């Protein structure tokens, strides 16, 4: 049944199954949490899962800040678009693309890490951070915890850096609110594009893939209507990418990264 929900298509099916796959197919964003705290033991398990993710050249260019203090969560919620669930979540994890550790290593060794100034290394920092965080999401699901990513933590990256005491050569990539899902939250498994829209074989075929978008628009519109959301997928994508005014301040991110010590030349 999970694969049917994942695609919003009664005809969708898979012929293989596993416990891990079932968790992945059933995952949804949780924005309403119960009162139970996330224990220190659970946090340690989530970080262990994160550190088990792949990392380019074993650079491990990320760190994570666990925030439980209510006042700090409130301030971060304000910086991240006034999203109340950040304050409500018992645990808010800020995932940091962290090139400062390598620079400290270089300073102690009396050497240089010039490659850290290039776009490739910045990309590695963000990619590895995301891989680690996604491992944590799946681990959280296996422990009965829900979560939701918060990209709006990049709305005011310098203010977030100040709030968390981040050193130079780091940036908060995104947040992750974690807690026990509130079963009364009106939300479900959001349908994704059909596989035929994203899976290409041997060579990329945009024309064939795009023929499946119209059917997906209908499915997502039905889902959105069920939960009081407007529009279909195409409309929402175009609105989100319309221009700088739709980016909540993130259109200046390149300049901000330079000021934070991530020049990405």
CATH fold label, 29-187+251-259: NADH Oxidase (3.40.109)
Residues 150-189: tens digit of each pLDDT:
999 999 999 999 999 999 999 999 999 999 999 999 999 9
Buried b (16+ CB within 10 A) or exposed e, 143-182: eebbbbbbebbbbbbeebbebbebbebbbbbbbbbbbbbb
Q: What pLDDT, on the 0 to 100 scale, is given for residue 193?
A: 98
Q: What value does the mean pLDDT take over residues 13-17?
A: 94
Q: What share of the chain is helix, strand, coil (3-state, %, to 5)?
A: 50, 10, 35
Largest distance between two CA atoms of the chain: 62
Work out the average pLDDT over 218-243: 94
pLDDT digits (tens, 9 = 90+) for 116-130: 999 999 999 999 999
Q: Is the pLDDT of residue 99 over 70?
A: yes
Query: Could you tell me what percent of the chain has a pLDDT over 70?
Result: 100
pLDDT (0 to 100) of residue 1: 60
**24, two tokens:** 């992945």
Question: Cα 60 to the chain's mean position, in Å?
Answer: 18
CA-to-CA dists, residue 79 to 82, 86, 111, 216, angstroms: 7, 11, 37, 33
For 128-144, the pLDDT digits (tens) are 999 999 999 999 999 99
Q: Angle at the Cα of 246 (from 259 to 250), degrees rounded to 5?
A: 10
Q: Which of 95, 86, 3 is nearest to 53 (CA)?
A: 95
Q: Output the pLDDT for position 255.
A: 95
67-77: average pLDDT: 98
Using CB atoms within 10 Å of the CB of residue 196, give its burial: 0 to 12 exposed, 13 to 18 middle, 19+ buried. Answer: middle
In the chain, domain spans: 29-187+251-259
Q: Residue 2: which pLDDT band, with cuts at 50, 70 and 90?
A: confident
């Amino acid at each position: 049944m999970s694969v049917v929900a994942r695609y919003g298509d009664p005809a969708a099916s898979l012929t293989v199954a596993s416990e891990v796959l079932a968790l992945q197919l059933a995952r949804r964003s949780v924005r309403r949490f119960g009162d139970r705290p996330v224990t220190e033991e659970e946090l340690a398990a989530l970080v262990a899962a994160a550190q088990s993710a792949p990392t380019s050249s074993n650079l491990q260019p990320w760190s994570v800040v666990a925030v439980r203090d209510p006042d700090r969560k409130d301030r971060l919620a304000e910086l991240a678009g006034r999203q109340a669930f950040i304050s409500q979540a018992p645990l808010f994890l800020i995932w940091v693309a962290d090139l400062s550790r390598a620079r400290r290593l270089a300073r102690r060794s009396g050497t240089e890490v010039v490659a850290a100034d290039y776009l490739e290394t910045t990309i590695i920092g963000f990619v590895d951070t995301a891989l680690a965080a996604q491992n944590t999401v799946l681990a959280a699901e296996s422990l009965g915890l829900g979560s939701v990513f918060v990209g709006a933590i990049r709305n005011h990256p310098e203010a977030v850096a100040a709030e968390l005491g981040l050193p130079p050569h780091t940036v908060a990539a995104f947040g992750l609110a974690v807690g026990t899902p509130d079963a009364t939250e009106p939300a479900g498994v959001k349908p994704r594009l059909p596989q035929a829209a994203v899976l290409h074989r041997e060579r990329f075929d945009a024309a064939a893939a795009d023929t499946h978008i119209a059917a997906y628009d209908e499915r997502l519109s039905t889902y959105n209507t069920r939960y009081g959301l407007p529009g279909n997928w195409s409309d929402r994508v175009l609105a989100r990418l319309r221009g700088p005014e739709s980016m909540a301040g993130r259109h200046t991110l390149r300049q901000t990264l330079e000021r934070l010590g991530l020049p990405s030349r």
